[in-house]
Amino acid sequence: MMKTTDSTPPRTARLADWLWAVAQDLRQRTPSRERDDAVLDAMRRQFDARQKADKAGRWRWALAGPALCASVLVACVWLLGSAPPGESGATVMGNPGSGFIVLVSADRWAAYEKAGASTAWLVPTEVPRERLALLGLPYDPADAAAPVRAELLVHASGDVLAMRVMP
């Protein structure tokens, strides 16, 4: 139990005195002017070096966007150029007026062409309108199940070589 007549000062008063003494000591220990200037110069050099490094990094990223666009453009041109002629909507025997869309590869078309035209027949038929989308032709999804009149160029072996959509 603590007596009220205790002569020791409270603990908070001793801590405040100690902090005041330390603050006074710190005020007396200020660094010299040369040391302050040296620290500021070192900080400026470090800041300049960081700014130069950041600028170099920004240029790399600034060139990344156009390089990526150019790469995508080259890839698209390459992909478009590498499509087989028989599957890219080319017309039969190079006659654009015929309206036929080649359905076989260029190699198979050349083999059938060597065999002669007498080995193929023109067969009228109806195909679902949704098949036009598979050939890359425009169609309306509202009437996808409606039939479309077409003519098929069929080889004697039964292979469908080409198709022409009739009006």
Whether 103 and 63 map to the same domain: the answer is no
Residue 25 lies in a domain: no
Phi-psi domain of 99 (left: phi exceeds 0; alpha: psi -120 through 50; beta: other): left
Q: Is 11 among the domain residues? A: no
Statement to judge: residues 73 and 131 lie in one domain: no
Query: Of 77, 111, 141, which one is at a domain's C-terminal end?
Result: 77
Residues 143 and 102 both lie in one domain: yes
**Structural domain harbouring 116:** 85-165
pLDDT at res. 48: 92
The answer to the question of residue 132 being in a domain is yes
Find the angle CA(94)-CA(97)-CA(98) to the nearest 5 degrees: 75
pLDDT at 85: 47
Whether 20 is in a domain gets the answer: no
One domain for residues 122 and 145: yes
pLDDT of 87 reads 46
Strand partners, 113: none
Q: Does 103 lie in the same domain as 52?
A: no
Higher pLDDT, 109 or 124: 124
pLDDT digits 0-9 by tens, 131-152: 877 777 777 788 777 888 989 8
In a shared domain, residues 93 and 158:
yes
Residue 68 falls inside a structural domain? yes
Left, alpha or beta for 58 (phi > 0: left; psi -120 to 50: alpha)? alpha
94 plus 157 within the same structural domain: yes
Give residue-wise pLDDT tens across range 3-13: 555 566 556 66
The answer to whether residue 112 is domain-embedded is yes
126 domain-assigned: yes
Dist. CA 75–CA 20, nearest whole Å = 74
- 59-108 pLDDT, tens per residue? 667 777 888 888 998 888 888 776 554 444 444 454 556 678 888 888 88
Tell me if 46 is assigned to some domain: yes
Please classify residue 151 by burial: count the beta carbons closer than 10 Å to its beta carbon, then call 0-12 exposed, 13-18 middle and 19+ buried. Answer: middle
User: Domain tally for the chain?
Assistant: 2
